[in-house]
Structure 1
């Protein structure tokens, strides 16, 4: 039993580190030294994170920072080098070769790197059969009975969403839709625990941004159709890239669309909005961030509710300051919309297994209903 627990612990630490790295987390949880000195663990980390064959690699500056610390920890974990080489038939030099290569590159400055888009992969741990373990597995080393060797599936085989983000920028229009924010990740977790909310339904997302929630609904939750809307031309133009990265290119499952809050949906380009097609669910994440836009947002929600009386509206609202959130509640009250809070707190960071996001600010899951 103790050995099984030890194997599982190793397994989970390797998986957690890989998932945090692929999500470009600024602070990652490195596996314990006793696991890092395992050559098979090192080879797994190389193949999954640092190999030149990786399809959507992390930015070179990020790779270098994490790999330098990883190599340092590996070296510190090896107490007796002679015994280490004898027991493990030598140390794989792939990580060291990759580190040398990165050190030789002329990398962009931090300021220039901040201007560049990068691949970010969010692991959907709630879809794993074995929560917190995923596709990482251990098998017996045939040459050394009793010693486990890491055998891991490609991260592409685990449930995930990969996006191309500008994590440190906002769009020229002032929108924050070029990166995925915490409320989108939290709303995604809520939907994964309440899949019937969108399964077989027509979904409209307000402020889709990078498309995380829309892609989740279309690819993993069985939505009948998803309209991913945003008020920024630049953000809407980027959505096809997100769809391509997640195998939804050319699919009718997701339709990008520009939608300005506060502008009448009916009586503009067409007599019936969206060709008169029904909307069953409206979703929105982190769209209550500014008191100035809240009246227009709520006006659009009210109009959608009038068009589709049976529609369900779920919004994930990050409470960065109480005044802004109270403003949202007040405007809803004035428009005759009841705000019902679902009990779904942000899990502590230490308990998250992917995606990973800030646990210091409350994120409210709000259901809006006509009084």
Structure 2
């Protein structure tokens, strides 16, 4: 302190004192980092649920709620799919005998409805867990005499938008292309959509809700 009562601090000395007196930091439970395995986000407790669209009734396995944190939104039925199925049930003649590929099929509610009046339906998704429930629902709707998952015109394929190898694999199995490309509650960049429509050589139009 000088004669005027002002405290004068020597910064170097002050820093040294702080460093010398600093106590080691004790780790607490709040500091622990918890790493969650991917299985933490997965729920495969599917419930058999019945849906009605006009005169059409279908049953399938799905979740009634799901986490959106691990790209598993396809495990449940979203409102857009309900709206699209309602439209399909009122316009059966438009799709009678046609071939359809669905993007982002989720549990497969739209594709399974289409199979009631379409000639061939290909359901697609990029998530392996979602593809498992799609195939489970396909088996649920297969006829007892069917000997393969494709014998009744309903099949699931893996498709990640922008993956041309997967697109070509689908086209090798279905070289005639498709009459309709369907999609409900999906987000797809136009840079991926235009090539998909070109690859699949749709004869009519793309329906999306």
Same fold by TM-score greater than 0.5:
yes
Q: Of residues 240, 243, 247 in structure 1, which corresponds to 2:138?
A: 243
Preserved contact between residue 170 and residue 177 of structure 1 (Cα < 8 Å): no
Q: Of residues 92, 95, 104 in structure 2, which corresponds to 1:195?
A: 92
Q: Which structure 1 segments of 5+ residues have no match?
A: 1-113, 128-158, 289-293, 317-371
Q: Label 1:117 to 1:171 Cα distance change in 2 as closer, same or farther (>3 A).
A: farther
Q: Label 1:309 to 1:183 Cα distance change in 2 as closer, same or farther (>3 A).
A: closer
Root mean square deviation, CA, Å: 2.6
Tell me the distance in 1 between the aligned counterparts of 2:111 and 2:167: 26
Q: 1:264 corresponds to which residue?
A: 164
Alignment of 1:270-309 (within 5 A): 272-288=171-187, 294-295=188-189, 298-307=190-199, 308=201
Q: 2:203 corresponds to which residue?
A: 310
1:188 Cα deviation after fit: 0.5
Q: 1:215 corresponds to which residue?
A: 112
Q: Label 1:121 to 1:189 Cα distance change in 2 as closer, same or farther (>3 A).
A: same
User: So what's the TM-score if we normalise by structure 1?
Assistant: 0.40
Q: Label 1:276 to 1:183 Cα distance change in 2 as closer, same or farther (>3 A).
A: same
1:269 Cα deviation after fit: 5.0
Tell me the distance in 1 between the aligned counterparts of 2:194 and 2:99: 18
Q: Secondary structure at the match of 2:164?
A: coil
Tell me the distance in 2 between the aligned counterparts of 1:277 and 1:309: 9
Q: Of residues 230, 236, 258 in structure 1, which corresponds to 2:125?
A: 230
Q: Label 1:123 to 1:227 Cα distance change in 2 as closer, same or farther (>3 A).
A: same
Q: Secondary structure at the match of 2:49?
A: strand
Q: Label 1:309 to 1:228 Cα distance change in 2 as closer, same or farther (>3 A).
A: closer
Q: Bigger radius of gyration, 1 or 2?
A: 2
Deviation per residue, 1:73-103 (Å, 9 max, x gap):
xxxxxxxxxxxxxxxxxxxxxxxxxxxxxxx
Preserved contact between residue 115 and residue 168 of structure 1 (Cα < 8 Å): no
Q: 1:86 corresponds to which residue?
A: none
Matched, 1:120 2:15: no
Preserved contact between residue 84 and residue 110 of structure 2 (Cα < 8 Å): yes
Q: Which structure 2 segments of 5+ residues have no match?
A: 1-42
Q: Label 1:268 to 1:193 Cα distance change in 2 as closer, same or farther (>3 A).
A: closer
1:267 Cα deviation after fit: 8.2
Tell me the distance in 2 between the aligned counterparts of 1:286 and 1:267: 21
Deviation per residue, 1:240-272 (Å, 9 max, x gap):
2112333456443111000001222578658x5
Preserved contact between residue 160 and residue 166 of structure 2 (Cα < 8 Å): no
1:166 Cα deviation after fit: 1.9
1:123 Cα deviation after fit: 2.0
Q: Label 1:198 to 1:257 Cα distance change in 2 as closer, same or farther (>3 A).
A: same
Q: Which has the higher contact order (CA 8 A, sep 6+)?
A: 2
Q: Secondary structure at the match of 2:101?
A: strand
Q: Label 1:309 to 1:213 Cα distance change in 2 as closer, same or farther (>3 A).
A: closer
| Structure whose residues are more often helix by fraction | 1
Tell me the distance in 2 between the aligned counterparts of 1:262 and 1:278: 18
Preserved contact between residue 187 and residue 285 of structure 1 (Cα < 8 Å): yes
Deviation per residue, 1:217-260 (Å, 9 max, x gap):
002xx101000001111111221211233345644311100000
Tell me the distance in 1 between the aligned counterparts of 2:90 and 2:198: 28
Preserved contact between residue 171 and residue 234 of structure 1 (Cα < 8 Å): no
Alignment of 1:141-180 (within 5 A): 159-170=56-67, 173-180=70-77
